[in-house]
Structures are given as structure tokens and as C-alpha cells.
């Protein structure tokens, strides 16, 4: 086996062992005194009105996905802003194309009604 892989295997072993050891140590060290009150879903004294496993509407997931997709734009714009002067007009053109595609996505989502909560 090539010696270049040994540091990777050591890192992998540490990465696997660390959380396992931490969880086992926490289980051995922590105090454990379960009771009926502690095992209830809520410790505030109020009984649950319904099952907590209710279903969310699909619209919630659509808005969450749109938020993640369109919020990632800042991650792509930050390196461009840092190297703005060195990129010149080519960088401006690239960002203009990126933002144009992004704006088309916003318009499409708005026309589909994905951005309306009610």
C-alpha cells in the first residue's frame, strides 16, 4: 500500500473514533435518573394537544428549497467581490450572466406562485 494513504487512514480512524468515544464517555459520566415526568414529551406540565408528527404542506418545502437555492447566490458573489479589480470587465460580464439567470429564476418562481405563502 502506498505510504501516501497512511495519513488519510489515520485521519479517518480518528474521525470515526472521536464521536464514538465522546458519546460512550458521555453516557458513562452523565447522571441517569429517569422518571415518568422526565420521560414525558413536554416537561412544562401541559399535556400535548395532538400528535407532534403532523404533516407539513408541500408549499413549506418549496419555499425552503427556494430559500436555499437563491440564498447560495451570496456564496458565489463573495469571491467575485473580493477579486473585482483583477477580473475586470470579464468578471462583470460573468456576474451579469449569473444574476440574469438568477432573476429569471425569481420571475419564474413568482409567476408559479411559489413565493406566496397563503
Q: What is the mean pLDDT of the chain?
A: 82
What's the topology of domain 3-112?
Answer: Methane Monooxygenase Hydroxylase; Chain G, domain 1 (1.20.58)
Angle separating helix axes 73-82 and 58-71, nearest 10 degrees: 10
pTM, two decimals, is 0.45
Q: Where are the domains of the chain?
A: 3-112
Q: Render pLDDT for 37-85 as a digit per residue (tens, 0 to 9).
A: 666 666 566 666 666 666 777 777 777 887 887 788 778 888 888 888 8
Alpha carbon distance 66, 59 (integer Å): 10
Amino acid at each position: 500500500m502506498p505510504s501516501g494513504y497512511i495519513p488519510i487512514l489515520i485521519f479517518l480512524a480518528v474521525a470515526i473514533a472521536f464521536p464514538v468515544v465522546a458519546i460512550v464517555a458521555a453516557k458513562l459520566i452523565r447522571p441517569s435518573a429517569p422518571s415518568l415526568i422526565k420521560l414525558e414529551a413536554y416537561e412544562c406540565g401541559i399535556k400535548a394537544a395532538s400528535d407532534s408528527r403532523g404533516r407539513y404542506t408541500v408549499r413549506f418545502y418549496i419555499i425552503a428549497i427556494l430559500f436555499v437555492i437563491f440564498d447560495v447566490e451570496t456564496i458565489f458573489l463573495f469571491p467575485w467581490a473580493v477579486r473585482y479589480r483583477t477580473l475586470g470587465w470579464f468578471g462583470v460580464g460573468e456576474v451579469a450572466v449569473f444574476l440574469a439567470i438568477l432573476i429569471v429564476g425569481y420571475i419564474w418562481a413568482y409567476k408559479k406562485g411559489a413565493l406566496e405563502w397563503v
